[in-house]
Amino acid sequence: MSTRSPRKLITFDWAMKRLLRSKANFEILEGFLSELLGEDILILEILESESNKESKADKFNRVDLKVKNSKDEIIIIEVQFDREFDYLQRMLYGISRVITEHQKEGESYAKLVKVISVNILYFDLGHGTDYVYHGTTSFVGIHDHDTLQLDSRQQTQYGKSRISTLYPEYYLIKVNNFNRIATTSLDEWIYFLKNEEIKDEFKAKGIQKAKESFSLLSMSDEELRAYNCYQDSLRDEASYVETNYYFARMEGKGEGKLEVAERLIAKGMSAEEAAAIAGIDVELLRH
């Protein structure tokens, strides 16, 4: 007799690793991005990204997916479970790297690729009560307080009407801040991200296709074992990080904090991350 629950769905991060890279499932990813970005998104292809390379050394439960849409924009989607104090800077680094990777030698700056960074976070980042944040770039006059606009020639050249659309955009979804009934189509997707459940009445783009494709019942025994192993790994990693974070905070002596930080580095964490968790200066780990 099967022990699988007919109502249980796989998590979005696992879907990003195994399912959403297939063109047959582009409809799901297009639906999620369309609801988040507020426009119809058509995905042309999945591009090479860090998490395409699976290994046991994959660090701290980060899953990423990089796609190109019909407007030749690149969208980076990242799921992060463990707290990272410098995550805001890492988003900037990730976008900067994509821009330089896709700039051809000798091309003018007008050809720089537009990048959108979508970050699905299961930890608290910064101080804020909302569960979806959107970041753009604008230039505001320090005297007249007007917002700088593109002139007519620039609008023709770029095919855009606002300066902010030339620059990278950031979306932060703080999943743990969502504690409400789904009242919008975007809420329905975030409800799924939080609860791993899609209700029959949900109408968001792509979400019912996700309910069908993400069902544990559709998985083979081998796929189910791999999925369960992945979930166990997530729990073990979360427990390890939280335990060491606790002892680093509780330990009053600098030597104890240093020892904790060194153990974290031995597990594969960077010196900066280990120092932040242990509460010590990173320079202590470099000397």
Within 10 angstroms of residue 3's Cβ, the number of other Cβ atoms is 4
pLDDT band, very low/low/confident/very high, at 249 (cuts 50, 70, 90): low
Cβ neighbours of residue 41 closer than 8 Å, sequence gap 6 or more: 30, 33, 34, 69, 70, 75
3-state SS class at 240 = helix
Within 10 angstroms of residue 243's Cβ, the number of other Cβ atoms is 11
Task: Identify the pLDDT of residue 271.
Answer: 80
Nearest of 167, 176, 179, 206 to residue 41 by alpha carbon: 206
| pTM beyond 0.85 | no
Q: Residue 54 pLDDT > 70, yes or no? A: no
User: Mean pLDDT over residues 70-95, rounded?
Assistant: 90
Task: Identify the pLDDT of residue 239.
Answer: 59
Task: Identify the pLDDT of residue 135.
Answer: 97
Least confident of 96-105, 154-163, 181-190, 251-260: 251-260
